[in-house]
């Protein structure tokens, strides 16, 4: 008998090493025999050869399929080869499910789920059966990452398994760790936090902690290893990451700019009164902001001896009868105007950087009607790599544009979904809204009116237009071509 590997809870062995097509493997449960049960034997048939497959992985498959209960109950399993095969009977036992090489490699791995934070990370190492092997907490530093790798490699040498890492966040707090792991040659999978939250809510008592979240990441990694996106550092990924950072920065500045404009409106009402709107057509233009910074109140403007055009409603009016503004109010106006001027400069710099990055992508998405450089950057930063989507339907589902099936008994219908990438969905909504506006394109307006005549609501008709736009975007990104009306 040749023993392949041994663990404290169970032992595997078989009498021959050559797994030939057309041979049988007999499996016995010694633990049941000791309990007085009748002799139980399974014949598992091999239908085809699996080149390069480790014997340990094959034995793990057999154990997982034939002994679904706790492995601690299995004291000894004896595998003996006779003539004839293995894989087809596994399919019979496992509900005719085909065992692919992806399923096989899952049994020969260590799964490391990591819950990332700004200062500290938590990691849980599990085997293919979700059994925790180690729980680790480490700092977000290079030295701590080296210690983590050393501990993981110690486990892999003991078990002869290959580690695979799963991280919730690879763009924010976990980017440093993800880059370190990728540069060290490890496979890193990106885990959606929604899947981890769903895994936690399945528990009878859903409690939250760093280690529990890391365990949830590892379990999701086991269940969805074939479908999870793989983290990689490529030129397109780096450009998409930079585009995403610039777009987020721009959105933050836009929010701050809107807030400052509303505050400046209020202070100008105090210092100038309602007629301040007549001084400039746009009270937030560069010229106007410079003016408010120099003359924060009507009294300051009336007393000024500088050669500046004064409105008629200030000329000839005594200074005491003009709106009064306190010193604090004047300082507020000066600060708000100065900050708004700085934001204008920052936004201009960001838009210039966006143009440069869009040029590096080799895409022409900005030629699409209703899609300027900013929206093009949003779309590209959220899609990242178009090769991830095999068809426009896949991309539409990712953007949350496909209906969700809702069936129960004889009732079959489809409902709108709020899932998918909401940032990409919002960008497509803005593109569609621009295309049916007064400055839009006739083709989009005709299609929109056609859906309205079919009895659809305006929101539903706009959603249909978004679905058409996503098809165009997928084609443009695949072929790297401009938009042809």
56-86 pLDDT per residue, tens:
455 555 555 444 443 333 333 333 333 233 3
Instruction: Render 277-344 in DSSP notation, one character per residue.
Output: GGT-SSTTSHHHHHHHHH--SHHHHHH--SS----TTTTTS-GGGSPP--HHHHHHHHHHHHHHHHHH
Q: How far apart are CA 259 and CA 378, in angstroms?
A: 23
Closest C-alpha among 229, 226, 237 to residue 167? 229
Give backbone dihedrals phi and psi of 217, rounded to 5 degrees, phi first: -60, -45
Which letter does DSSP use for residue 86 in this model? B
Query: pTM (2 decimals)?
Result: 0.72
**281-292 mean pLDDT:** 93
- Would you state the pLDDT for residue 38? 41
The domain locations on the chain are 2-103, 108-232, 239-361, 365-479
Closest C-alpha among 164, 184, 186, 166 to residue 174? 166
**247-264 mean pLDDT:** 96
Q: How far apart are CA 415 and CA 418, in angstroms?
A: 10
Q: How far apart are CA 478 and CA 84, in angstroms?
A: 49
**393-410 mean pLDDT:** 87
What is the tally of helices (H) and strands (E) in the chain?
17, 12
**20-33 mean pLDDT:** 46
Class of domain 108-232: alpha beta
Q: Are 379 and 473 in contact (CB under 8 A)?
A: yes
List, for residues 111-128, the tens digit of each pLDDT value: 999 999 989 999 999 988
Q: How far apart are CA 429 and CA 435, in angstroms?
A: 10
Query: What SS3 state is found at 405?
Result: strand
Range of weakest confidence among 5-19, 42-56, 141-155, 466-480: 5-19
- Would you state the pLDDT for residue 397? 92
Distances (CA, A) of 306 to 276, 300, 302, 303, 317: 19, 11, 10, 9, 18
- Would you state the pLDDT for residue 310? 83
What strands, in cross-sheet order, belong to the sheet with 77-83?
Answer: 2-6, 11-14, 77-83, 23-29, 41-45
Q: How far apart are CA 51 and CA 436, in angstroms?
A: 58
Q: How many CB atoms lie within 10 A of CB 361?
A: 18
Instruction: Render 45-71 in DSSP notation, one character per residue.
Output: E--S--TT--HHHHHHHHHHHH--S-G
Q: Are 462 and 371 in contact (CB under 8 A)?
A: no
Q: What's CA 444's distance to the chain center, in Å?
A: 31
**316-343 mean pLDDT:** 91
Q: Are 122 and 169 in contact (CB under 8 A)?
A: no
Which letter does DSSP use for residue 435 in this model? H
Share of the chain above pLDDT 70, in %: 78
**272-298 mean pLDDT:** 91
List, for residues 296-318, the tens digit of each pLDDT value: 998 888 888 887 888 888 887 88
Range of weakest confidence among 303-307, 341-345, 354-358, 477-481: 303-307
Residue 380 sits at the vertex; the CA angle it makes with 375 and 383, to the nearest 5 degrees, is 125
């Amino acid at each position: 008998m040749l023993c392949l590997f041994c663990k404290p809870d169970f032992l595997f062995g078989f009498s021959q090493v050559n797994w030939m097509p057309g041979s049988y493997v007999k499996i016995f449960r010694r633990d049941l025999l000791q309990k007085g049960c009748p002799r139980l034997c399974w014949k598992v048939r091999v239908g085809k050869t699996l080149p390069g497959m480790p014997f340990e992985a094959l034995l793990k498959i057999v154990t997982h399929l034939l002994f679904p209960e706790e492995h601690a109950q299995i004291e000894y399993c004896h595998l003996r080869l006779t003539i004839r095969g293995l894989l087809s009977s596994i399919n019979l036992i496992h509900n005719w499910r085909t065992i692919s090489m992806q399923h096989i490699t899952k049994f020969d791995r260590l799964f490391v789920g990591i819950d990332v934070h700004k200062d500290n990370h938590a990691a849980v190492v599990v085997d293919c059966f979700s059994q925790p092997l180690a729980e680790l907490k480490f700092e977000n530093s290079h030295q701590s990452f080296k210690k983590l790798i050393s501990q993981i490699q110690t486990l892999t040498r003991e078990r002869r398994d290959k580690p695979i890492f799963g991280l919730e966040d690879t763009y924010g707090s976990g980017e440093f760790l993800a880059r370190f792991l990728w540069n060290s040659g490890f496979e890193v999978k990106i885990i959606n936090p929604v899947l981890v939250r769903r895994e936690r809510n399945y528990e009878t008592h859903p409690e939250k902690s760093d280690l529990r979240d890391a365990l949830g990441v590892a379990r999701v990694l086991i269940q969805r290893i074939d479908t999870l996106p793989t983290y990689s550092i490529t030129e397109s990924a780096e450009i998409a990451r930079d585009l995403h950072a610039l777009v987020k920065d721009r959105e933050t500045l836009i929010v701050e700019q809107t807030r400052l404009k509303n505050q400046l409106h209020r202070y100008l009402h105090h210092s100038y009164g309602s007629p301040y709107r007549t001084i400039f057509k746009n009270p937030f233009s560069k010229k106007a902001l410079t003016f408010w910074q120099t003359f924060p109140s009507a009294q300051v403007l009336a007393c000024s001896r500088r050669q500046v055009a004064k409105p008629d409603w200030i000329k000839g009016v005594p200074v005491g009868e003009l709106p009064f503004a306190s010193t604090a109010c004047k300082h507020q106006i000066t600060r708000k105007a100065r900050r708004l001027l700085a934001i204008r400069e920052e936004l201009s710099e960001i838009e210039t950087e966006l143009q440069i990055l869009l040029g590096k992508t080799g895409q022409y998405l900005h030629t699409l009607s209703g899609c300027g450089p900013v929206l093009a950057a949003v779309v590209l930063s959220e899609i990242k790599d178009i090769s991830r989507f095999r068809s426009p339907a896949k991309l539409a589902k990712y953007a949350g544009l496909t209906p969700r099936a809702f069936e129960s008994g004889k009732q079959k219908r489809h409902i709108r979904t709020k899932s998918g990438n909401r940032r990409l969905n919002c960008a497509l909504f803005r593109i569609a809204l621009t295309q049916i506006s007064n400055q839009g394109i006739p083709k989009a307006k005709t299609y929109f009116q056609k859906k309205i005549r079919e009895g659809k609501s305006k929101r539903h008709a706009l959603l249909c237009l978004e679905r058409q736009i996503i098809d165009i975007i997928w084609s443009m990104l695949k072929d790297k071509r401009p938009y042809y009306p």
